[in-house]
Structure 1
Amino acid sequence: MTTVHVHAIALGVESFGDDDAPLVLLVGGTTMLSWPDALCERLAAGGRRVVRYDLRDSGESTTADPETPAYTLRDLATDAAALVEALGDGPAHIAGTGVGGMVAQVAVLDHPGAFSALTLVGTRAVAPGPPDDDLPDHDQATMRRLFARPMPDWTDRDAVAEFAAAGAEILGNDPAAARAVAARVWDRTPGTAPPVQMANQMGMVFSRLDCTPRWRERLSGIGVPALVVHGRRDAFFPVGNGEALAREIPGARLLVLEEAATAIPDAAVGEVAEAMLTL
């Protein structure tokens, strides 16, 4: 892992594969560890240079004040394009998961010359907040269970990991995998202040971003090959959101993972990697 500086900020990055291979840029959602190691390794074995990175206010990237971020969704999209330029391997296949998928959509729309393909995993075409009337919202029963829990002691690594595991069980993900990733995220978080930990563990900073103007109405202008991956059991962004993206992005392929929720399970890594490699 290292950092790359783009327009006065640092972005934490990790690379897999041959530096001379075509670039796949994985946008963290919000940390790079949202992307499974096994998927990065499979893509690299398929002849790609894979770079995953942390969004601002997470991991090894610049951390300022997650409670009042002085940047917008479009700044994060510009970060992605600038990172491709700094790496010198463009145009790149950009992939975003969760909130990182929103960054990836705007990046392709605002900086089309920087990107050659687009993969969206477990995301939607509208910013945090109430969705459009035709898009399914978060499953409310699941959200009540998820957010009714008391916050952990953010200074306690084990408590934070157990909190993540319990949340994963509510969402339908693998608790053991979530526990292990949360411990790694905790180790990479610059301090135990609750806002910083929440930005890393829960992505709460994203709900405070300025995400205007809307971009959904521009999706028909995406001119690169696109793949939409969505878990059938996703209660956070129900699968109808992925189906809408696949309908509205010209020529997009929809891959529904029947046994998945919000995370890419180990059993689906090979299928997702193969779909990405054939874009």
Structure 2
Amino acid sequence: MIPDDAVTDRTTTDRTTTYHAVPDSEVPRGAPRLVEANGVQLCVQTFGSPTDPTVLLIGGAGSSMDGWDKGFCARLAAGRRHVVRYDQRDTGRSVNSPAGAPDYTFSALLADAVGLLDVLGVDRAHVVGISMGGGLAQCLAVAHPERVATLTLVSTSPAGPTESELPPPSDGLRAAFADPAPEPDWSDRAAVIAYMVEGERLFAGSAPFDEDAVRESSGRVFDRTTDIEAALKNHWALADDEEPVTVRLSDVAAPTLVLHGTEDPLFPLDHARALAGGIPDARLVALDGVGHQPPPARVWDTAILALLHHTDRK
């Protein structure tokens, strides 16, 4: 078992790969910084050495880089990975458009990811996408296969057609979508944080909901986000692309890992099974009791070791 206050480092022998705990303080990390990628300003932060293989983390709808916990990034970096997390448009400190009226489409978010790799001087990355970011990651693997060393899909669904009908969201989540909570006063920090916490609660699994931790992270997101209303609205309001990327799972050539909670209320586990069954040689790792969320700390031993093994290739 890896201690909660440690990260993992790797030692390779002729036959096996093992991982050893090292202090989090030994993992180098850069400060969040603005870069120009794909013609817009994006905020990016890196962990680890740029000489190590790059892992690009793509967040879900309305999620800034903060959706990828710093401890999670540090543990990956200690496994000799160069970890990149970033604010997508309208989140965090990246470029903004008016709340409710995004001036870009899904394809621009895809081009942003490619542009960010260009700015960082990364030819090929191990791409990890969650939820909407998992859709972006699938499109990236199909449209730009030369840029994707491996693919990891977290809490997401096929971005193209499947052979079987997939189950809908849970009854509770559908009821919440049909009767959404009233919007807060977007200038009221406490009200917005409470709104965000209750939103996260809807997507949790059966494990105890860590309200204090979610409240703390929501406060951090509020404090570093240029326009929190735009951040929580605009990705859901994207117009359709005129020429969307067509994703057929059988066309995904990158080695693929699927990480998915067994209690995901938005995309039940059959969505993950469809991904693993449709992408050639994909591997599914189910995270027990996890909902629609980034892997929580209690399953990092499973998720991070799976990611390190999966990305242990060029």
Note the alpha carbon deviations across 1:163-199, whole angstroms, 9 max, x for none: 22222333225333322221111111114xxxxx244
Going from structure 1 to structure 2, the CA distance change for 1:83 and 1:67 (only over 3 Å counts) comes to same
* Distance in 2 between residues matched to 1:95 and 1:101, nearest whole Å: 7
Note the alpha carbon deviations across 1:232-279, whole angstroms, 9 max, x for none: 111112221111111111111111111100122110122111111111
Give the letter aligned to residue 186 of structure 2: W
- Structure 1 counterpart SS, 2:57: strand
Contact 1:15/1:51, CA 8 A, preserved across alignment? yes
* Distance in 2 between residues matched to 1:207 and 1:242, nearest whole Å: 25
- Residue in structure 2 matched with residue 249 of structure 1 by the alignment: 279
**Normalized against structure 1, the TM-score is what?**
0.89
- Residue in structure 2 matched with residue 166 of structure 1 by the alignment: 198
- Residue in structure 2 matched with residue 60 of structure 1 by the alignment: 93
* Distance in 1 between residues matched to 2:182 and 2:164, nearest whole Å: 31
Q: Which moved more, 1:30-39 or 1:90-99?
A: 30-39
Q: Which moved more, 1:165-174 or 1:16-25?
A: 165-174
| Number of corresponding residues | 269
Contact 2:90/2:234, CA 8 A, preserved across alignment? no
Give the CA RMSD over aligned residues: 2.1
User: 2:223 pairs with 160, 179, 187, which one?
Assistant: 187
Give the letter aligned to residue 180 of structure 1: E
Going from structure 1 to structure 2, the CA distance change for 1:115 and 1:155 (only over 3 Å counts) comes to same
User: 2:82 pairs with 5, 30, 49, which one?
Assistant: 49
- Residue in structure 2 matched with residue 19 of structure 1 by the alignment: 50
Percent identical among aligned pairs is 36
Give the letter aligned to residue 219 of structure 2: A
* Distance in 1 between residues matched to 2:172 and 2:301, nearest whole Å: 32
Asked if 1:91 is matched to 2:127, the reply is no
Give the letter aligned to residue 108 of structure 1: A
Contact 2:107/2:244, CA 8 A, preserved across alignment? no
Give the letter aligned to residue 188 of structure 1: R
Give the letter aligned to residue 110 of structure 1: A
- Residue in structure 2 matched with residue 5 of structure 1 by the alignment: 36
Give the letter aligned to residue 136 of structure 2: V
- Residue in structure 2 matched with residue 114 of structure 1 by the alignment: 147
- Structure 1 counterpart SS, 2:94: coil
Q: Which moved more, 1:2-11 or 1:69-78?
A: 69-78
Give the letter aligned to residue 254 of structure 1: L
Shift of 1:15: 0.8
Give the letter aligned to residue 27 of structure 1: I
Contact 1:94/1:104, CA 8 A, preserved across alignment? yes
Contact 2:128/2:151, CA 8 A, preserved across alignment? yes
Contact 2:106/2:238, CA 8 A, preserved across alignment? no
Q: Which moved more, 1:23-32 or 1:40-49?
A: 23-32
Contact 2:102/2:234, CA 8 A, preserved across alignment? no
Contact 2:59/2:133, CA 8 A, preserved across alignment? yes
Contact 1:166/1:175, CA 8 A, preserved across alignment? no
Contact 2:42/2:87, CA 8 A, preserved across alignment? yes
* Distance in 1 between residues matched to 2:183 and 2:261, nearest whole Å: 27
Shift of 1:203: 5.2
Going from structure 1 to structure 2, the CA distance change for 1:177 and 1:113 (only over 3 Å counts) comes to same
Structure with more of its chain in helix, by fraction: 1
Going from structure 1 to structure 2, the CA distance change for 1:132 and 1:2 (only over 3 Å counts) comes to farther
* Distance in 1 between residues matched to 2:125 and 2:250, nearest whole Å: 20
User: 2:211 pairs with 172, 175, 181, which one?
Assistant: 175
> Which has the higher Rg, Structure 1 or Structure 2?
2
User: 1:239 pairs with 252, 269, 276, which one?
Assistant: 269
Shift of 1:73: 1.7
- Residue in structure 2 matched with residue 194 of structure 1 by the alignment: none
List alignment gaps of at least 5 residues for structure 2.
Answer: 1-31
